Amino acid sequence: MALMVTGAAGFIGSNLVKALNARGERDIIAVDNLARADKVANLVDLEIVDFVDKRDLLPRIDAGEFDGRIAAVLHQGACSDTMETDGRYMMQNNYEYSMRLMEWCQARRLPFIYASSASVYGAGKVFSESREHEAPLNVYGYSKFLFDQAVRRRLPAKSAPIAGLRYFNVYGPREAHKGRMASVAFHFYDQYLAAGRVKLFEGSAGYGPGEQVRDFVSVEDVVRVNLFFLDHPQVSGVFNVGTGRAQSFNEVACATINAIRRSRGEKALSLAELRSSGAIEYIAFPPQLVGKYQSYTQADTTALRAAGYKDDFLGVEAGVGRYVDERQRDEHA
């Protein structure tokens, strides 16, 4: 029996397939859209048994082609561009497609683990999985929110496990294809290598320069949570996936720069030293993000812990340091 991973050439999906391979799983059906051909770089070192174009999957499952072949579906595929303005496309891709896939899994009693997003919380200050805290700021967040709502309605009469994972700010290897939507750690790394400095936003929403805070979570931890739910099919629900600790963009910048400096045999510098030396620069807050920007996120992990997940999460200093080390190994290989 195969595992089906959608978004398998993407950031989280490809890291998930890699981790499945490390556990000995080779019977994996990878689903993605390779209209962006550079994403194939995320597949070349992975072991899969088949590749299915995202546009062909629903007609093929409707035709019964995969009946009896699938053990579980890990649905990571989505349009994750928070600046996308085509609401029709976003809803078709993220909501309608997910609905069809979930109902197919339910009809065949297959576990369904899917990617949701912390964007469902919008500008709120409480990040726990209940309706009163959910107010997305854009159509991407709304597409994720609406599907979570459909899942909640389905859960009482479910025929198989359904687990929705609300990812906070994920960073790590295999995200280069995301371009401007890649993590700040990715961009800080490139900026520092290119110009010897990184650029952060000036203050906004009452926060000082670079002091906006997010729950930055390593893709290593995101993958571990996915595997936990795959291994514990008795658990269903919608769960936050974050460290439970908000850290500032300044902290990410310091972690990125100091990891690079360490690799060069240079000493670590404090935030004040990085500012005074010009290694950290602050730029005007973009007007197009006013009212659409989360200046604070911090996952409430109570539900995840109650579900039985016990592993610790990497903080920014350790997680970004590992990410920088891996990027450098890949670039020098």
Q: Alpha-carbon distance 259 to 325, whole Å?
A: 7
Q: How many CA atoms lie within 13 A of 133 on its CB side?
A: 14
Question: How far is 296 from 112, CA to CA, in rounded Å?
Answer: 30
For residue 60, give the DSSP letter.
H
Residue count of the chain: 333
Catalytic residue from among 95, 114, 121, 140: 140
Consecutive H or E run containing 56: helix 54-62
Whether the CB-CB separation of 242 and 168 falls below 8 Å is answered with yes
Q: What is the bridge-based pairing of β-strands 2-6 and 70-75?
A: parallel
* Secondary structure letter of residue 137 according to DSSP: S
Question: What is the distance between the terminal CA atoms of the chain, rounded to a whole angstrom?
Answer: 35
Q: Which of 69, 49, 65, 46 is nearest to 57 (CA)?
A: 65
Instruction: Determine whether 97 is an active site residue.
Output: no
Q: Quick check: 256 and 324 in contact, CB under 8 A? A: yes
Q: Which of 18, 158, 178, 292 is catalytic?
A: 178
- What DSSP string describes 286-297? PGGGTTS--SB-
140 noted as active-site residue = yes
Q: What secondary structure does DSSP assign to 142-196, as a single string?
A: HHHHHHHHHHHHHGGG-SS-EEEEEE-EEE-SS-GGGGGGS-HHHHHHHHHHHHS
List residues with catalytic annotation: 140, 178
